[in-house]
Amino acid sequence: MIKDIIKLADHLDMIGEKEEASLLDEILPYIKNVEVDMANSKIEDETHKDDLDVNYMLASQLTSISEKTSIILSMINEGAMVDDWIETYIAQSDLMIDNIYDKMVTEHHYSDKRNKTCDCKGHCNCGK
């Protein structure tokens, strides 16, 4: 939905409807926040069912990163020009996410092999 609103605002700008495009630009952050809040409340509902998941903030933050990345990607795919510092920040972010991904995937892979004494999958919390 956000991508469609961005496209509409861009189209309105191109055809000279600057006021309408500006209005859409002004409400876009609020629409995005509502979508993220709805996604976060669903995630929080699911994670608080067990009261064992202490990582619910991580899920919220990763959802936020994903949403913002999708918007930025759609803008870049439409030909938006970016400053050099933006390219640098994106490269740094990619490196940091790669490091997190590699660590978590490696831990998950090897934890399955180490935890053969119990039935836990992934990170073992049972203490066996």
- Rounded to whole angstroms, the Cα distance separating 18 from 121 reads 55
- Rounded to whole angstroms, the Cα distance separating 83 from 42 reads 36
- Rounded to whole angstroms, the Cα distance separating 62 from 25 reads 24
Greater model confidence, 24 or 79 = 79
- Rounded to whole angstroms, the Cα distance separating 128 from 115 reads 8
Per the structure block, which two tokens stand in for 54? 């202490």
Residue pLDDT, tens place only, 6-45: 778 778 778 888 888 787 777 777 676 665 555 555 555 5
- Rounded to whole angstroms, the Cα distance separating 99 from 93 reads 10
Of the candidates 29, 40, 45, 94, which has an alpha carbon nearest to the alpha carbon of residue 63? Answer: 40
- Rounded to whole angstroms, the Cα distance separating 101 from 97 reads 6
